[in-house]
Structure 1
């Protein structure tokens, strides 16, 4: 699990993230929600050790996050940022193969297991038939799924994804969240993901962490989060909740 202790991130000597104490499970599917500019990506970058705390610390598996070597960290935590590289000149399969780098380095010998993991990762995101296509020739959604396949090929116990559904149509959004939920249920991989869609989060998340102005304002179950007062306080707009017509969940609507 991730354990936060008096975590503060400052910019221009002003706190932009202030989380006194928080524990995030790394065996659940947790969704981070909040308005634009609330601090979601800053928090995710801290978890991925892309940002270092100005004060306080983050512990992972009871060890300071800063105590892991870069290779050790990549074997434990796979991170998909919001802004992705172009990967010019690489085929989709070659991009996905980069996910195996933490396990054998630049000159390490590839084994059949590595090839099988890459093939399975491509299959999981529906890109098996496009593996020889250049990444730059793929559609926005195909590129996004290729990067996610690379993340899956890394086979780290914890996956961090910053808005992975942003370039996907509604069908692929639900397919991706279904895949991540299935991975969590079947392999125990912990998944922490930033989303903007409250209803998508409510359908698939085990836990929700809500951030507002750099502070944690909610951390708990979906049922506890999907309350009118909670949603209105977070998003500052009138909201209403209705029962989903086909399952025992709530659907949030802006009034």
Structure 2
């Protein structure tokens, strides 16, 4: 469980993030929504300790994030930024091996258990056939799966993903979210994911945290958010809902 208390981030005397009190579950698929500039990435960076708030405190399972060593933090929280780090010259297996760094360090030799974890992570995301290929030679969807395999090899109980679907076509977006939902159900690892697509979020999220102008606009179930007036207030544009033809969920449309 992440808990934020009086968290404030300012830039040029403007409040980028202003969260008086917030609890985010760390064992579910929790999606962060909001328009561009609403503070989503700033919040994610604070959760990942890539950014320190100007005021307030963030705790993870009752302990202040500021008190975690870098290694201990990585053992508990895995973070995938929107702009992926350069991985030129690395095969998929070599990239996934980097996930063992928090447990073995720079010079630590990988043991049999490490190799088992690495191969299992590659298998879990369904890219076994690409294990010896260079990451830069993969398609966008396959590359995202490789990075997620690295996070799985890290064995952190919580994964933070900043817009993992942003560079993918619609088919790969749904494939990736289906994979993350499946991993959450099978491994118990929590997912905190920034998305832009309200319908993608409503389909796969257990809970949604919606932001507007750096503040909490909504927190609750997808069903509770999927109301025309609430969506219009969040995005500033008239929206309507239709019934999904194959299940009981609703689909949001711009009027």
Name the TM-score, length of structure 2 as normaliser.
0.96
SS in 1 for 2:179: helix
Q: Is the CA contact (8 Å cut-off) linking 2:46 and 2:52 kept in structure 1?
A: yes
SS in 2 for 1:252: strand
Quote the residue 2:70 is aligned against: 70
Query: What is the CA distance between 1:210 and its match in structure 2?
Result: 0.3
Quote the residue 1:33 is aligned against: 33
Q: Is the CA contact (8 Å cut-off) linking 1:144 and 1:168 kept in structure 2?
A: no
Query: What is the CA distance between 1:119 and its match in structure 2?
Result: 1.5
Query: What is the CA distance between 1:178 and its match in structure 2?
Result: 1.5
Q: Is the CA contact (8 Å cut-off) linking 1:144 and 1:167 kept in structure 2?
A: no
Q: Is the CA contact (8 Å cut-off) linking 2:184 and 2:191 kept in structure 1?
A: yes
Within-5 A mapping of 1:160-179: 160-179=160-179
SS in 2 for 1:159: strand
SS in 2 for 1:9: strand
Q: Is the CA contact (8 Å cut-off) linking 1:125 and 1:176 kept in structure 2?
A: no
The number of residue pairs the alignment matches comes to: 255
Quote the residue 1:212 is aligned against: 212
Q: Distance in 1 between matches of 2:175 and 2:142?
A: 13
Q: Deviations over 1:183-234 (max 9, x none)?
A: 2222221110001111111011010000111111000111111111111011
Q: Distance in 1 between matches of 2:227 and 2:108?
A: 52
Quote the residue 1:81 is aligned against: 81
Q: Deviations over 1:97-152 (max 9, x none)?
A: 10111111122231222112211222222221111111222233322221111111
Name structure 1 gaps, 5 residues minimum.
none
Q: Distance in 2 between matches of 1:182 and 1:92?
A: 21
Name structure 2 gaps, 5 residues minimum.
none
Name the TM-score, length of structure 1 as normaliser.
0.96
Q: Deviations over 1:51-102 (max 9, x none)?
A: 0010011011111110000000000000000011221211111011101111
Quote the residue 1:116 is aligned against: 116
Quote the residue 2:187 is aligned against: 187
Q: Distance in 2 between matches of 1:26 and 1:41?
A: 17
SS in 2 for 1:242: strand
Farther-moved stretch of structure 1 (122-131 vs 31-40):
122-131
SS in 1 for 2:129: helix
Q: Distance in 2 between matches of 1:137 and 1:92?
A: 10
